[in-house]
Amino acid sequence: MTDFITQIDFNILNAIQSIRNPFLDTIMPLITFLGSGGIVWAVTALIMLCFKKSRKTGIIIIVSLLLGLFLSTMGLKNVIARERPYNTEGALLTVENLLIGAPSGRFSFPSGHAISSFSAATVILLYSKKLGIPAIILAALICFTRLYLYVHFPSDVICGALFGILLAFMSNFLVNKIWEKNNERKLSNNSKQND
């Protein structure tokens, strides 16, 4: 089964290589950099923390990013230990042909870029369609760069995106529960002070 999935992955990856051109070769590493370490999403969350109206959304994004970090980098990647495409037999490209340096993490599944991008973008979409739709488009672009740059298999990215969406909903649920309990406690303390 894994050989079958890997073959489909390579068919898709190699087809993507057919659209390579100097313009995309320049822009794809820049877009992928935005997703490195969830940097664009962490900065977005920090900006949201500065405003009362978006503070809770910023907190939820940070929680989802942290959960994604534990799930991906510190969890599943080492358990599943799937080699990256360029290190796999049958690869069209090798590490010497990559447009970017080889990622620091040896293993491929799931894509950390996909987890962080889709967890953060989904949280943003839950609270604002106006901001959420561009965030989802950016998340999808970041994920596509991982395929274009030959550092992830499509199944790494698809599963990473699905995990990210799941983590967004989990983080939203957890933070909202804590937020509600905190508000209830504040109301209770205020009513006791007024008595």
10-14, 21-25, 184-188: least confident range: 184-188
* Closest by CA position to 54, among listed 163, 134, 130: 130
Answer whether residue 169 shows pLDDT above 60: yes
Tell me if 12 sits within 8 A of 157, measured CB to CB: no
Mean per-residue pLDDT of the chain? 89
Percent of the chain residues topping a pLDDT of 90: 62
- 24: Cβ contacts below 8 Å, ≥ 6 apart: 148
Residue 90 confidence class, pLDDT cut points 50, 70, 90:
confident
pLDDT at 4: 84
pLDDT at 111: 92
Residue 1 confidence class, pLDDT cut points 50, 70, 90:
low
Per-residue pLDDT, averaged over 100-128, amounts to 91
Per-residue pLDDT, averaged over 18-31, amounts to 94
For the stretch 175-195, pLDDT in tens is: 999 888 887 776 666 656 655
pTM of the prediction? 0.88
Per-residue pLDDT, averaged over 19-36, amounts to 94
DSSP string, 19-75: T--HHHHHHHHHHHHHHGGGHHHHHHHHHHHTSGGGHHHHHHHHHHHHHHHHHIIII
98 dihedral zone (left: phi>0; alpha: psi -120 to 50; beta): beta
- Cβ count near 112 (within 10 Å): 27
For the stretch 127-166, pLDDT in tens is: 999 999 999 999 999 999 999 999 999 999 999 999 999 9
Where do the DSSP E strands lie in the chain? none
pLDDT at 188: 66
